[in-house]
Chains A and B, each alone.
Chain A
Amino acid sequence: IAGITQAPTSQILAAGRRMTLRCTQDMRHNAMYWYRQDLGLGLRLIHYSNTAGTTGKGEVPDGYSVSRANTDDFPLTLASAVPSQTSVYFCASSDGTSNEQFFGPGTRLTVL
């Protein structure tokens, strides 16, 4: 089934630990995005990639890094997690023509 998958579904993490959230799409979309969603703040863009091999910073990039080695995968890494990174993380992709974004199911991350 075409779409976007994210892993893990949820995670509890100790502060200071390193964590990678995985995102894979099989729609051959060029553009991919990572958002965090916090109550009352809506979706905020962390990092994006317009095509394989390129990445860019969004609104709230500090503390996060991404890579885009191929079209399908776009992992998000927290080098040293802090409690303020407790959030729901959504990965999304678009084909770059209509700019409609398709979202993965999300990862609920709690940093203690």
Chain B
Amino acid sequence: GQNIDQPTEMTATEGAIVQINCTYQTSGFNGLFWYQQHAGEAPTFLSYNVLDGLEEKGRFSSFLSRSKGYSYLLLKELQMKDSASYLCAVTDSNYQLIWGAGTKLIIKP
């Protein structure tokens, strides 16, 4: 079967750095997405990785290792507004998105 694993919840301190991991087992691979979802709102796109390596976009970076079925999202200089759920999703061989359950990130002052 297809499976994406993320930690359920993480806590970090304002101004610090946090890394959210995602491991996946899917039938084929055509890219990995990270989305941010604030409580009561729709998911919004953060990043996309299709090749191995690190993609940096401001305070957010995403890393992919296809051989290990592994990705992480790195958030730097955490702000209170970063409190949200972070969803990892993989595009499989049929170009369907398979979603993880999401990681709820709690930022403390």
Pick from A12-20, A62-70, A71-79, A99-107 the stretch touching chain B: A99-107
Which secondary structure characterizes the binding site on chain B?
Answer: loop
A98-B48 contact, Cβ under 8 Å, with A90-B42, A103-B42, A104-B42: yes
Instruction: Report yes or no: A42 in contact with B42, Cβ–Cβ below 8 A.
Output: no
The residues in B between 20 and 61 inclusive whose CB is less than 8 angstroms from any CB of A are 30-31, 33, 41-45, 48
Chain A interface: which size bin?
10 to 19
Q: Which residues of B contact A44 (CB under 8 A)?
A: 99
A-B pairs, top 6 by smallest CB distance, nearest first, are A103-B42, A42-B101, A43-B99, A42-B99, A103-B43, A99-B91
A26-45: CB near B (< 8 Å → 1, else 0) gives: 00000000000000111111
* A→B interface (CB under 8 Å): 40-45, 48, 58, 90, 98-106
Instruction: Report A99 CB to chain B, min CB distance, Å.
Output: 5
Which residue on chain B has the smallest CB distance to residue A103?
B42
Q: A98-B48, A99-B30, A100-B48 are in contact. Are A106 and B42 (CB under 8 A)?
A: yes
